[in-house]
Amino acid sequence: MASSYSNLHPVDQILTSLVNEAVPSDDQLIADKVFETIQIPERSGTLLLEESRNFMGAGAGLDLQRAPGSSRATIGGFDRSSQTYKALIYAASDSIAMEDIFDSQYPGSEEARLAKKVSRVLKLAREKRAADLLFGATNFETGDCGVTFGGKFNAAGATPLSDLHSLKDTVFANAHGINPDSLIFGRALFRELARNPEVRGYVGSTTNGLASGNLILNDEAVIAVLRDVLGIPNIYVGQALQDTAVPGATSSEAPIWTGDSLFMGILRGSDAIVQKSGNVKGMPVAALNLSFQNMVAGQYDSNDKTRRYVYGEEVGTFHAVDSKLGFVLTDCL
């Protein structure tokens, strides 16, 4: 039988299947979609990253033409950069009285119900870590909509498509000629795009009411416009809410991904090679999901056998890799 990383309690394969099973509300979660996931063999190690400038040509003064019998030109370049990482343990548990298990009329098992509850807690916490990393103010280049573009996306006459195209040029330049492949919106900002005349006008004309009327585009139409205009394939909207109140207090729900912000950057193409030592070699990207242990679950009884506990646990980290390969735009509404 497999065991959890903490090795305190055995892993239950049925409960593990349940905690990893997608439920309808998981459609709102994007943390597992936005990053490349690298399975690491050790909890800690080193990232060895190629310098992106190494892929911009041989450099000035280097002649690649050679005469028969002569030596080939030797390419110089920049050394690999290195960063250390450490995967962290995230775990949660819930319990039920033994009497409630025996008296339960729940159609499934009470342990299965607790497993789904624990799973949701861990998934939302994972989503929050992803949002904090990608929408945070310290990991990547940042800008304020009002300063960067002179206005917010919901202001009269706003041109978000033009502004986002300019932002793409900024990321392209920062990344030494690599186009951004990912765009992530807070929900409120994304919904505002559906109302914006420039966006609506891209799919219609004033004659059919899209540009001048009150029609609102659906999510699929907005994403199609963004992909067509920007050429960015991976577009996500962070929609999940989280209750930030302490247990027993009045509910206080808030979006996990800041509603008026967005991230644009490079989150694909690491071409990672994982060594047995735990070191990871690869191309630079903005961030990675380094996973040592996927979510597992199990159950155990209290010492006095009055309560049954169900736990979930995962080990990993979202790791910011290169600050120049991402841009966070804030205060856009």
Q: What is d(CA 12, CA 174) in angstroms, rounded to the nearest whole number?
A: 47
Q: What is the DSSP letter of 139?
A: S
Other C-beta atoms closer than 10 Å to the C-beta of 322 total: 22
Helical ranges in the chain per DSSP H:
13-20, 31-34, 98-103, 110-135, 145-148, 160-174, 187-193, 197-203, 219-230
Give SS3 for 329: strand
CA angle 278, 20, 45 (to 5 degrees): 10
User: Hey, what are 143's tokens?
Assistant: 């800008």
196: pLDDT strictly greater than 70: yes
Residue 142 burial (C-beta neighbours within 10 Å; 0-12, 13-18, 19+): middle
Q: What rounded mean pLDDT belongs to the chain?
A: 87
pTM above 0.85, yes or no: yes
* Per-residue pLDDT reduced to its tens digit, 57-111: 656 667 778 889 888 877 766 667 889 999 999 999 999 999 988 887 665 688 8
| Residues 279-309: tens digit of each pLDDT | 888 888 999 999 999 999 999 999 999 999 9
8 A C-beta contact, residue 261 and residue 186: yes
Instruction: Determine the Cα–Cα distance for residues 3 and 84; give it in Å rounded to an integer.
Output: 27
In this prediction, residue 202 carries a pLDDT of 84
Report the run of H or E that residue 72 belongs to, with start and end.
Answer: none
**DSSP structural state of residue 10:** B
Give the pLDDT of residue 24: 64
Only one residue has tokens 């990893």, namely: 20
The one-letter amino acid at 133: L
Rounded to whole angstroms, the Cα distance separating 269 from 260 reads 28
Helix (H, G, I), strand (E, B) or coil at 153: coil
Residue appearing with tokens 């370049």: 77
For position 2, what pLDDT does the model report?
46
Give the confidence band of 246 by pLDDT, cuts at 50, 70, 90. confident
Residue 71's pLDDT is: 83
Q: How many residues does the chain have?
A: 333
What are the tokens at 189? 């900002």
Q: In whole angstroms, what is the distance from residue 102 CA to residue 307 CA?
A: 12
**pLDDT above 70 as % of the chain:** 87
Domains and CATH numbers, the chain: 13-52+85-330 (3.90.1690.10)
Predicted confidence (pLDDT) at residue 249 exceeds the cutoff of 70 = yes
Q: What is the pLDDT of residues 146-189, one digit of tens each?
A: 888 878 999 999 999 999 999 999 999 999 899 999 999 999 99
Q: What is the pLDDT of residue 207?
A: 46
